[in-house]
Structure 1
Amino acid sequence: MEEWLEEHRMKKESVGEEDKGDQDFIDVLLSVLQGLDLSGYDVDTVTKATALTLLVGGTDTVTVTITWTLALLLNNRHALEKAQEELDTQIGKGRLVNESDINKLVYLQAIVKESLRLYPAGPLAGAREFDEDCTVGGYFVPKGTRLIVNIWKLQRDPGVWSDPLEFKPERFLTSHQDIDVKGQHFELIPFGAGRRLCPGINFGLQMTQLVLATFLHGFHILTPSNEPVDMTGSPGLTNIKATPLEILLKPRLSPSLY
């Protein structure tokens, strides 16, 4: 990490302050932190801690979400085909997907939302402790009580979702088109809600959508057998698929693009 920071500093010194060029996360972070009061911490410490938190916290969750999404698509081939049709229409087959393309891929965004609804990477929200006595929904809650929200159950509530166990991305284009995953709609909170929601929500969502779009655009995805993909999860803080996802890939684009 120290070498990484030094590399970015040397790059900044060589091009100068005015010529920013292409900047990555570390470049932006170093620029933002420069000259700020960091409560006794130096810029290097804060930069390294932030980058490590982002990498450690985001790697597993993004991987888990993409794995579940691919498994769902393989068990619902009509949705897979529709997603690839959208990619071919919006992107074509003459280039790769760019981050700026994601806003045009409305069906793919709906797929990610539906996957996060059915298989949130963290099925239980972080514990919250009441710092005073209060009454919630007619129930008295004493000070010191710890609350753990069951996100898994909440997002499969038949009182909110029609056919809650079915994979239906279309619901986010029709009946639930205004529902977002960023903590503003409590029926869908895969990243949590309030001041303690996941700090990497935007980064994680962008990564998931971009990687999934690139993958579906670039490859035909098949299973080794005609059997449905096993959708059993394993217990734990992260909702990891119990059995590895085995797939076969076949290129969809020109060899020169890979």
Structure 2
Amino acid sequence: MDNFKFSSKSCHKQRLYPVAPFLTRYLSEDLILGGYRVPKDKLVVISLFTSGRNEEYFGEPERFQPERWLRDESGRNKVQNSFACLPFGLGPRSCIGRRVAEIQMQFLLSRIVQRFHIAPTSDEEIDIKLRMITTPEKSIDLILRHR
């Protein structure tokens, strides 16, 4: 799996396009959030789509930069706040299939890139829909050529 080091960091494109764009939680205690008091037992919706684009946590957030997830010389993660990117959630209600999904993504991405040159059929920007899951507005067509 060491050969997958960089591809595993590339999977953090989920920061910009999380499959589930929102987390919901009922508060177990009162909370002050952004200067507002939110009482216990209220439903809070957290936008992963927005937090993944926050310049405070990710310099040039729209830029694909997988090396931002590599550790520096001291072994520290270069990302300032590890809670800024939670594509699988956090805590006891986090995605039970996280490790399986990560391994599958790493393997699939590595195999495709090893075997094919990949190019889009168009340079047109594709809008996305944020619903229960993040989906493209229309199909994404690619050209794959054997290496």
TM-score, length-normalised on structure 2?
Answer: 0.84
**CA offset at residue 249 of structure 1?**
1.7
Matching of residue 122 in structure 1 with residue 7 in structure 2? no
**CA offset at residue 213 of structure 1?**
0.9
Contact persistence 2:68–2:78 (CA under 8 A): no
**CA offset at residue 250 of structure 1?**
1.6
> Where do 5+ consecutive residues of structure 1 fail to align?
1-101, 253-258
Q: Aligned partners of 1:205, 1:167: CA distance in 2, in Å?
A: 18
For residues 91-130 of structure 1, what are the structure 2 equivalents within 5 Å?
102-113=1-12, 115-125=13-23, 127-130=24-27
**CA offset at residue 177 of structure 1?**
6.4
Ranges of 4+ aligned residues in structure 1 off by more than 3 Å: 135-139, 174-177
**CA offset at residue 130 of structure 1?**
2.2
The residue number in structure 2 matching 1:206 is 103
Contact persistence 1:234–1:242 (CA under 8 A): yes
**CA offset at residue 131 of structure 1?**
4.0
Contact persistence 2:4–2:107 (CA under 8 A): no
Amino acid corresponding to residue 105 of structure 1 in structure 2: F
Q: Aligned partners of 1:131, 1:174: CA distance in 2, in Å?
A: 34
Amino acid corresponding to residue 145 of structure 2 in structure 1: K
The residue number in structure 2 matching 1:171 is 68
Evaluate the alpha carbon distance shift between residue 210 and residue 139 of structure 1 in structure 2; reply closer, same or farther with a 3 A threshold.
same
The residue number in structure 2 matching 1:136 is 32
Q: Aligned partners of 2:76, 2:4: CA distance in 1, in Å?
A: 14
Matching of residue 187 in structure 1 with residue 75 in structure 2? no
> Where do 5+ consecutive residues of structure 2 fail to align?
none
Contact persistence 1:179–1:185 (CA under 8 A): no
Higher strand fraction (1 or 2): 2
Identity fraction in percent = 24
How many residue pairs align between the two structures? 143
Evaluate the alpha carbon distance shift between residue 136 and residue 195 of structure 1 in structure 2; reply closer, same or farther with a 3 A threshold.
farther
Higher relative contact order (CA 8 A, sep 6+): 2
TM-score, length-normalised on structure 1?
Answer: 0.50
Q: Aligned partners of 1:250, 1:135: CA distance in 2, in Å?
A: 53
Structure number, greater radius of gyration = 1
Q: Aligned partners of 1:107, 1:169: CA distance in 2, in Å?
A: 7
SS of structure 2 residue aligned to 1:111: helix
For residues 1-258 of structure 1, what are the structure 2 equivalents within 5 Å?
102-113=1-12, 115-125=13-23, 127-132=24-29, 134-136=30-32, 139-173=36-70, 178=77, 185-224=82-121, 227-252=122-147
Contact persistence 1:160–1:187 (CA under 8 A): yes
Higher helix fraction (1 or 2): 1
Cα-Cα RMSD: 2.4
**CA offset at residue 167 of structure 1?**
1.3
1:62-118 Cα offsets, whole Å, 9 max, x none, are xxxxxxxxxxxxxxxxxxxxxxxxxxxxxxxxxxxxxxxx322322222111x1111
**CA offset at residue 174 of structure 1?**
5.7
